[in-house]
A = this chain, B = another copy of it.
Amino acid sequence: MSKGDETRQRILAEAAAIFNQRGYEGCSIQAIMEATSLEKGGIYRHFESKEELAAEAFDYAWNIAATKRRQNLDAIPNEADRVKQHIANFGHRTGLPGGCPLLNTGVDSDNGNPVLRDRVRKALRDWQAMLRTVLEEGMKAGTIRADVDACAAANRIIAGLEGAMLISRIERNDAALRQGLMQLEAYVDLELRQSRA
């Protein structure tokens, strides 16, 4: 990695943490200058505008979260078990301060930030597609019930996870998240998994 690339990555890492905690309006370039010990020019050498930096920082943050949440999935042959592992992965911290980037930026980018909004929409679409793919593979392999609506099931899981994370964040403890994970794991076993005849 060139020195310029290294600096760019360092800016992204710091900006991702600050944007994810404080939102677009609450994150000043001054704060990123302080976190990176760079001058304003040193930051804008790598990013055209605050809007572009925020969009790239969101992608950086989402990549960390999505990678963590997809951990240990490939080794699981049964698709119902793979969806359950994906859900269970939400019980572990991503290491990213501020919580789920989709929740933060999805709410924050709602008004007047179309570049950021497109990135969030793409992140959601990727997540939905990943879940749909696992469910459809399972329907072919006979591990997921053939009458499952993969699109509706993916949204049910995503909504349940994001909603439980919201409650836990407001309550400042993990109880509601853990409860939500258990409910979703039971949903996989009772409504998605093809039981052996």
Point out residues on A near B: beta carbons under 8 Å. Answer: 21-26, 98-99, 102-104, 106-108, 110-112, 117, 120-121, 124, 152, 155-156, 158-164, 166-167, 169-171, 176, 179-180, 183
Q: Using known A-B contacts A22-B25, A99-B110, determine if residue A155 contacts B180 with beta carbons closer than 8 Å.
A: yes
Q: Which interface residue of A112, A159, A160, A180 has the most chain B CB atoms within 10 A?
A: A159
State the oligomeric state as a number of copies: 2
Q: By the criterion CB–CB under 8 Å, are B164 and A155 in contact? A: yes
| Known interface pairs A98-B110, A121-B171, A159-B180; 20 further A-B residue pairs with C-beta atoms within 8 A, sorted by A's residue number | A21-B110, A22-B112, A23-B108, A24-B26, A25-B26, A98-B111, A104-B107, A106-B170, A107-B107, A107-B169, A108-B108, A110-B169, A155-B179, A156-B160, A158-B163, A158-B167, A159-B160, A159-B164, A159-B167, A161-B163
Q: Cα distance A158–B124 when bound, in Å?
A: 20
Asked if A152 meets B22 with Cβ closer than 8 Å, knowing A103-B107, A103-B166, A160-B160, the reply is no
> Closest residue of chain B to A111, judged by CB?
B21
In the complex, which of the residues B108, B112, B155 contacts A107, with contact meaning CB atoms closer than 8 Å? B108
Alpha-carbon distance A21/B111, docked complex (angstroms): 7
List residues of chain B with CB within 8 A of the CB of A21.
Answer: 110-111
CA–CA, A106 and B163, complex, Å: 11
A155 to B108 Cα, complex, angstroms: 23
Q: How far is the CA of A183 from the CA of B176 in the complex (A)?
A: 20
Quick one: which of B25, B26, B156, B170 contacts A180, CB cutoff 8 A? B156
Chain B residues near A163 (CB, 8 Å)? 158-164, 166
